[in-house]
Amino acid sequence: MALLKNDIDFMSARKRRITGIISAVMLVVAILSLAINRFEFGLDFTSGTLIEVGYTQPVNPETIRQQLVSEGYEEAVVVTFGSDRDILVRLPVEEGEDEAMNNEVASLGDEVLALLQSTSDTPVEMRRSEFVGPKVGAELAERGGLALLVALGIVMLYVAVRFQYKFGIASVAALAHDVIVVLGVISLFRLTFDLTVLAALLAVIGYSLNDTIVVFDRARENFRIMRSTDPEHILNTTLNQVISRTFVTSLTTLMALTAMLVMGGEAIRGFAVSLIVGVTVGTYTSLHISCNFLMYLGITKEDLAVPIKEGEELDSVP
């Protein structure tokens, strides 16, 4: 029994026009936000100090962060590192203070260690204290952007080989749509862009691609079975066949991500928000945008026809 009704009109000219307008508005808002607002880069992409400390008993990173905030370290990021007894503290520096901080890392580490020891019931020991310069952050940002581009390129190549080149173009266009919207939300709401957010963007590409592949695989099968109908009807039938599966998968994923957002603390808030936005937009894209792109590219039944091997036509002649 289908969870949702299977006679939804996805592919009429009116519906395609509406979804096209919705996507255009989202992209314009996202691009304007990216052009106007600068990313709030985290310590991974900027300068700052990394301080690793070890506890003898498990500790709550959020409690430690609140202790640091109360002592004036408002921008401190605290995460577990390896186990729940190993804590990594990240302290960004103001622009122009890089050289000074490079010389004061040891004293800053001692200050933080003394603060944590004074507020802890268990012993705390220093593991390491080091300065991350702007050059390292710039290299990470460059490699992160390259990773996104390489991922999109590999996706396009895979889908083009696995299905047909029009499917490859449509899948990359849909994934680029999702990534731009997620980046726009990050910029619009001034979320900190760090390595966890970059990981979320790569995860969004994988998740959205999975949904799109499910749609495309069913579409290819229907194109080869429903030979007497037009592409618009075939794609509409395809979307009605997969909507229940897509809806249930996305809903269960969003439930897990919501729990992560509520209970995960400040350190992974950007990661959780990025994934929630990405999964939501990716679901919309797989149901509305990917097949729309196929229609714009002029997909036909001949594009997916099974090639006739040499000699088969003669074998079929009586």
Please say if the pLDDT value at position 66 is more than 70.
yes
Please say if the pLDDT value at position 317 is more than 50.
no
pLDDT given for residue 311 in this prediction: 53
Pairing state between β 40-41 and 192-193:
parallel
Pairing state between β 124-132 and 77-81:
unpaired
In this prediction, residue 98 has a pLDDT band, given cuts at 50, 70 and 90, of low
Hunting for tokens 């490699």 — which residue is that?
143
Report DSSP state, residue 288: I
Q: Express each pLDDT in 228-257 by its tens digit.
A: 788 888 899 999 999 988 999 999 999 999
Helix/strand/coil for 226: coil
User: Whole-model pTM above 0.95?
Assistant: no
Please say if the pLDDT value at position 224 is more than 50.
yes
Please say if the pLDDT value at position 13 is more than 60.
yes
In this prediction, residue 1 has a pLDDT band, given cuts at 50, 70 and 90, of very low
The mean pLDDT of 285-292, rounded to a whole number, is: 89
The mean pLDDT of 10-31, rounded to a whole number, is: 90
Instruction: Between 139 and 28, name the one with better pLDDT.
Output: 28
CB 174 within 8 A of CB 286: yes
Domains annotated for the chain, with CATH where assigned, are 13-41+137-304 (1.20.1640.10), 48-132 (3.30.70.3400)
- pLDDT, averaged across the chain: 83
Q: Token pair of 270, please?
A: 């950007």
